[in-house]
Structure 1
Amino acid sequence: MKKLILMTLMLIGAMTTMMAQKPAEIKFDTVTHNFGSFSESDPIVTCVFKFTNVGEMPLVINQAVASCGCTVPEYTKTPIQPGQKGEIKVTYNGTGKFPGHFKKSITVRTNGVKEMTRLYIEGDMTEASK
């Protein structure tokens, strides 16, 4: 009987300790990037969104999905430990697109407190001089 009570108390103590830890939490340095103006003759531009895991558990990015096929996100597939940094590289390819202003979003899903975050890129692609 004493063993059963002792095991129950140990289990409750272990569960309390596990629940006291803060889950993973992603914090981006910035959630928007403006490419400014770039020429249609050089239509591929890239930026990097940097983030930190400010939680106490490992952070896993489950997916990063762009709103358009012309935008491709690349992200760290391995878990980011507490306090560590990671990055999401986003490439916009304006080949075949009309010159002008664009704004695209990238939806990032994680195992963190805030499961979904949206990143935004925008810019102005100018017509190539002939």
Structure 2
Amino acid sequence: MVKNMLLSMLVLLMVSCNETTVASGSENKEEAIEGGISDIIRNPITADQEEIDTNNVAKITFSELSYEYERVDEGAVVSHDFSFVNTGKVPLIISNVRSTCGCTVADWPKTAIAPGEGGVIPVRFDTKNKSGRQNKPITITANTIPAKTTIYLNGQVDGESS
């Protein structure tokens, strides 16, 4: 009995996950979205387009994609500013900047960057409790194609000597 009930729930869950619906208008009608809502979240530029127009988009161009810092002692804070320019044809909107751990934090411009204009993404890496070779990726999500660009902070952290 329990086995049959679990199997029924699993089938129901699988069926309900295959169709994405959203409320439409004031009538609260539900309509299926082809491709699912996750397509819009992953890359809002291409969600409704079959062909991608890469000529008329924002483009983020960094002066460097990787920064190699000098050898530092554990506990030091490494800071670096990654400069970029919007080399695209429409305003650049950065929606998120994140790293793989809390030891590396970054800030970013919260306003649109016009074509031809630039900005800076300051990154700080706290080496507390870190030692050895470090490679910290920082992922920028923006209205670009591809939607994600990764920059890196790399270097050697010397641990405490006993």
Does TM, scored on the shorter chain, surpass 0.5? yes
Cα deviation digits, residues 96-118 of structure 1 (max 9, x gap): 22x21111111111012331101
4+ residue runs over 3 A deviation: 127-130
* Residue 36 of structure 1: aligned partner: 70
Question: What is aligned with 1:122?
Answer: 154
Q: Deviations over 1:25-69 (max 9, x none)?
A: 1111111011120122x5101011111001111100010110111
Q: What is the TM-score when the length of structure 2 is the normalising length?
A: 0.62
| AA in 2 matched with 1:31 | L
C-alpha contact (below 8 Å) 1:25/1:114 kept by paired residues? no
Q: Distance in 2 between matches of 1:110 and 1:34?
A: 24
User: Is this contact kept in 2: 1:65–1:108, CA < 8 A?
Assistant: yes
- Matched positions, count: 109
The secondary structure found in structure 1 opposite 2:129 is: coil
Higher RCO (C-alpha under 8 Å, 6+ residues apart): 1
Percentage of matched positions with identical amino acids: 32
1:57-91, CA deviations, whole angstroms, 9 ceiling, x for partnerless residues? 11000101101110001111110001001111110
Q: Distance in 1 between matches of 2:159 and 2:103?
A: 18
Query: What is the CA–CA distance in structure 2 between the aligned matches of 1:31 and 1:73, rounded to whole Å?
Result: 15
- Aligned-residue RMSD, C-alpha: 1.8
TM-score, length of structure 1 as denominator length? 0.77
CA-CA distance at 1:128 after TM superposition: 4.7
Q: How does 1:2-17 map to 2 (within 5 A)?
A: none
Distance 2:152 2:115 in 1: 25
Unaligned 5+ segments in structure 2 are: 1-52
Aligned residue in 2 for 1:88: 121
Aligned 8 A contact 1:23 1:113 in 2: yes
Gap regions ≥5 residues in structure 1: 1-18
